[in-house]
Amino acid sequence: MSGFLDIKGLTLRLRGGPTILRSVSLRVASGKVHGLVGESGAGKSTIGKAVLGTLPRAIEITGGEIWLDGVNLLALPPRERRRRIGATAALIPQDPLTALNPSKRIGPQITRRLIDILGWSKADANRRARDILDEVHIPDVARVMRSYPHELSGGMRQRVLIASAFAAEPKLIVADEPTTALDVTVQKQILRLINEMRARHGTALLFVTHDLGVVSKVCNSLSVLYAGKVVEEAQMHRFFTQPIHPYSRALLAATPTYLDPDGSLQPVPAEVIQEVETEVHQHAQRAGYDV
Amino acid sequence: MGARLWLSGTWLGLLALAALFAPWVAPHDPLAQDLFLGRLPPFWMDGAEPGYWLGTDSLGRDVLSRMIHGARIALMVALIAGTLTCLIGATLGVLAGFYRGWSDRIISRLVDIWMAFPPVLFAILLIAVLGPGLLSIILAIVIIDWTRFARVIRAETLSQGAMDYVASAQVAGRTRFSTMIAEILPNILPTVIALLTLEMGIAVIVEAILSFVNLSISTDSPTWGGMIAEGRTSVHQAWWVLVFPLFTLFLTVLSFSQLGEGLKDRFDPVLR
Ligand SMILES: Nc1ncnc2c1ncn2[C@@H]1O[C@H](COP(=O)(O)OP(=O)(O)OP(=O)(O)O)[C@@H](O)[C@H]1O
Ligand SMILES: [Mg+2]
């Protein structure tokens, strides 16, 4: 089965430095939600950035393919790649505080892509922006369109960002920890909203998080990342019932909300970390990377 | 809304008008000497002559008229040197902060080396090489002070560049260059403006200092620094020759920095 997004053997490293992603492969099927979990620094955001073409210049792609809607992005010239990504994918970022340009009003920030990439007229784009803001349950849409980001609450800004991501009807959205910066009550609403929007628009979602509880609620499948390597890729149900990799089992044990809501938080056991490290090293040696 | 913005703006506005129309505004020829009218006190003191509002210096030249003509040079240097310094320094700062990589390495290294020179020494050295004169002063200010802009603007650009809105803009298909111009630039503009007005104040001081040590333009064009230097020698007999230009200088420099702060707050959407 090939996915709408199909990453094959993606390998990245810091220029002249350590490898950040080691032959990562993952698929997101059309209209499905694929979770990407792993601890901080595992390389989750980096995968999202590679897909969206926003990798910092300090990072170079040394191998692999990123197929988006049947085209290998890495084989395209930069201009064409940007256009393709802009037309098919969008980002829901982590921090609603910095994800909107502070010196621009909300309206133009939503319509920008419609006008620039898709060539819509200004009137059409504005109408679309109003509709989509309405769809994410923003009250007083006209006022919000005229507001500057700092005039809105965090939850409101995240709604705007979700609206903005869906505005151009992308076929894939990368959501990078879209709820971590919000407080718990708002988190739930936002999660529900993303799910609702995604289902209605039939959008595929690459959902980056380190929260297995969240994954269990919204994802169809997931990849577990450890130190830049996918240690397990699984359908949701199989993962939660029969995790194969020891690191996955340890992660599950460390997530009290899922297996045992009242249980105390278990750290990932040291021997499991050791095991994964060894495996990563062996893999690296086989593939000839420096670690 | 800030009183300081209005106060400083008004003072600088008046000064600019006076400088622009100096030949018509100044009551006397700033160079005309009259030894019979030497060291006249300002208008409220005993022995003042009508028409010589702020008194005269030891050669009988009108202090007010000389100050008004001095404002021309002060403001001209402020405007030209400030703008040039800003353009060069801010451009390099934005390039370094946005593109990073080798452009950043080169520019940052250059800034480090530059800032290792003590600025006053650097200025005097430059003037010695370039020869005294208005152009030299402007050049010296630009050559020395672009680093101030480059450093601050680079840091600001760097922090803006790391924000998610920049990534979003690029996902939405903006090129790097247009991201820099259309997304990042508006957000660093308040800082640029604050630095620019501050730099204008600094330019006024530098011009005054160099005039004070007689490295500015020829001695017969009145400058504030020159007046302060002359007034210093006769401060016990005629304090007004020193105090009025000194006070004007102080007020002008203060106004520039206050204007900068005021404008920054005004332009900053988050503080507005
Ligand atoms: N611009 C960069 N310069 C240097 N190292 C980087 C850069 N960007 C990412 N890295 C490194 O790449 C690795 C993966 O980072 P990434 O941000 O993808 O992790 P993550 O899984 O998203 O973590 P988090 O949960 O904290 O967001 C980290 O070790 C990080 O230090
Ligand atoms: Mg991350």
The edge-to-edge listing of strands for the beta sheet with A204-208 is A89-92, A172-176, A204-208, A33-37, A221-226, A229-235
Q: Given ligand 1 and candidates A10, A14, A98, which is best to mutate, with the most ligand atoms within 8 Å of its CB?
A: A14
Interface A-B, measured as beta-carbon pairs within 8 A, has a size of 71
Q: Which residue has the tokens 């901080």?
A: A40
ipTM of the complex: 0.78
In a domain, A194, yes or no: yes
Mean per-residue pLDDT over chain B, rounded: 90
Average pLDDT over residues A81-108: 91
Smallest-distance ligand from the CA of A55:
1
Residue A49 Cα to ligand 1 midpoint, Å, equals 10
Q: Within 10 A of B98 (CB to CB), how many other CB atoms are there?
A: 23
Q: Do A53 and B170 touch (CB under 8 A)?
A: yes
Residue by residue, DSSP assigns A63-123 as EEEEEETTEEGGGS-HHHHHHHHHHHEEEE-S-TTTSS-TTS-HHHHHHHHHHHTT---HH
| pLDDT surpassing 60 at residue B201 | yes
- Residues in chain A with CB shorter than 8 Å from the CB of B189 are 103
Tallying the residues shown for chain B, one arrives at 272
Q: What is the pLDDT of residues A236-285, one digit of tens each?
A: 888 988 888 888 888 888 775 554 545 455 566 677 667 666 766 665 56
For residues A68 and A85, give the distance between their C-alpha atoms in angstroms, rounded to a whole number.
Answer: 8
| pLDDT surpassing 70 at residue A230 | yes
Q: Under a CB-based contact definition with an 8 Å cutoff, are residues B84 and B90 in contact?
A: no
Q: Given ligand 1 and candidates A7, A20, A98, which is best to mutate, with the most ligand atoms within 8 Å of its CB?
A: A20
* List of domains in chain B: 54-267 (1.10.3720.10)
Q: Do A102 and B173 touch (CB under 8 A)?
A: no
Cβ density class A115-139: b for 16+ within 10 Å, e for less: ebbbebeeeebbebbbebbebbebe
Average pLDDT over residues B229-235: 88
Residue A37 Cα to ligand 1 midpoint, Å, equals 14
Tallying the residues shown for chain A, one arrives at 291
For residues A92 and A148, give the distance between their C-alpha atoms in angstroms, rounded to a whole number.
Answer: 19
CATH of the domain at A88: 3.40.50.300
B165 interfaces chain A, CB cutoff of 8 Å: yes
Number of H helices, E strands in chain A: 12, 10
3-state secondary structure of A175: strand
Residue A250 Cα to ligand 2 midpoint, Å, equals 21
3-state secondary structure of B98: helix
Output the pLDDT for position A245: 87
Q: Which amino acid is at A98?
A: T
Distance from B3 to chain A by nearest Cα, in Å? Answer: 24
Lowest mean pLDDT among A158-162, A267-271, B52-56: A267-271
pLDDT band at A1 (very low <50, low <70, confident <90, very high): very low
Most A CBs within 10 A among B164, B176, B188, hence the mutation to make, goes to B164
In a domain, A291, yes or no: no
Q: Residue B170's closest chain A neighbor by CA?
A: A54
Q: Under a CB-based contact definition with an 8 Å cutoff, are residues A42 and A247 in contact?
A: no
Q: What is the pLDDT of residues B85-126, one digit of tens each?
A: 999 999 999 999 999 889 999 999 999 999 898 887 888 888
B32 interfaces chain A, CB cutoff of 8 Å: no
| pLDDT surpassing 70 at residue A288 | no
Domain of residue A257, residue span? 5-286
**pLDDT above 90: percentage of residues in chain B:** 56
Output the pLDDT for position A266: 57
Mean per-residue pLDDT over chain A, rounded: 87
Q: What is the pLDDT of residues A10-31, one digit of tens each?
A: 999 999 889 999 999 999 999 9
Q: Do A90 and B171 touch (CB under 8 A)?
A: yes
Q: Using the atom order of ligand 1, give the atom closest to the CA of residue A56.
A: 1
- Count Cα neighbours of A187 within 13 Å in the Cβ-side half-sphere: 15
For residues B262 and B265, give the distance between their C-alpha atoms in angstroms, rounded to a whole number.
Answer: 5
Torsional class of B214: left (φ above 0), alpha (ψ -120 to 50), beta (otherwise): left
Q: Which residue has the tokens 């922006």?
A: A129
The edge-to-edge listing of strands for the beta sheet with A71-72 is A19-28, A5-14, A59-68, A71-72
Output the pLDDT for position A257: 53
Output the pLDDT for position B155: 96
What residues form DSSP beta bridges with A233?
A223
Output the pLDDT for position B219: 59
The tally of domains found in chain A comes to 1
For residues A112 and B182, give the distance between their C-alpha atoms in angstroms, rounded to a whole number.
Answer: 11
A285 interfaces chain B, CB cutoff of 8 Å: no
| pLDDT surpassing 50 at residue A164 | yes
Q: Do A52 and B171 touch (CB under 8 A)?
A: yes
- pTM score: 0.82
Torsional class of B143: left (φ above 0), alpha (ψ -120 to 50), beta (otherwise): alpha
